[in-house]
Structure 1
């Protein structure tokens, strides 16, 4: 098991839950805080996310097709066709365990926006250092050549939700579950490759990453500095004829 997968497994307390949100302008919807981490994916159309409780300074964030927003601490927010549109209702019944995915429709008869909103059940009382390093709100804009795997997962998810077929009930939850890893991988990919610090830099360090993996694979082993160093980059090649 790699470090990223292990970090999430150590915090998971249940399966993710979600709801498809269909808004037609003018529309506004208040998403209450959740226990864990929240996410919002724009399947089609455009909208704005307005953070609540001071997250990211409360600055509205414009969202377009394929954009993904991850709220590390599960903070509440308002989703709307425009920041000035008052929200019409609170989405209090959005996450129901009895359904693979719920549906909420709001707004008037203007341009349509389709989103998938939900949350991952993570134990925030013992967050992994990697999760603590993330900003309150992670915005991953879509774009040519950006986060190819995450974009592919979002397109697959949109297709399954737009035209459900046999097997969709099993496919959709599995895609949502995988999205969490894709989101974190995409954020790590956006971090500076040199001069950085913390877990993001450690994952990219050719000497540190193998040592961290070794510790996570066998935490009970009496590791020494020498043993961990042997898991890092190999040394220079031995001269010809010399023993390895």
Structure 2
């Protein structure tokens, strides 16, 4: 009876040991954690830039952008193989890349090797403008509008640049006799847009037919006309465009003229 009980216990111990071994072998092997904001590279270990300062640069690597953009990036960098790593210069490289307008984010890392350090530029590239379109323009051609916009197909998509393009187009209309012109951005003011599309409401063109003054008792009309820039066009056809900005400037010039004459309350 004791022999049967011992055999039973031995069998139970073996079964328990086998089950434990099976659960351990089923677990995935432990993987060392990877820091998500730093690149991994078998050739070197990522080190703090302060520790890498002064060491020779053995390589400069560009992560992220297309091959075409990488070719444009390398000439901008002053941090190059064969030179010592200078942190001030590295920061200037980051500013230069940011000023280029090609990238949303620019980060740098350094990796240690037996011969020196590898400098890594991790770049998040802006999407490109696949098209630039103008809708609603009738009196001004697309070639002129493109010149005023100063953005082109293939440029990096910069929402600020698109907004500035709309402002320049609107200013052009206002200066050429369309004071009520309004430009609306349909596409290009959001980071994930594929191109830039401008909706143009030109409004009616307005011209200056004549210039007159009311309430002037000290200076004659002819004298006041010498103080303003806005004048009727030749035969009411050439020039003579109404510009709201120029009209405001003429009002300021007339006010300044009267105040020089001693009429400080003139409006």
Q: Could you state the TM-score of these two structures normalised by the residue count of structure 2?
A: 0.20
Higher relative helix content: 2
Computing the radius of gyration over CA atoms, which structure comes out larger, 1 or 2? 2
Q: Could you state the TM-score of these two structures normalised by the residue count of structure 1?
A: 0.21
Greater relative contact order structure (CA < 8 Å, 6+ sep): 1
Higher relative strand content: 1
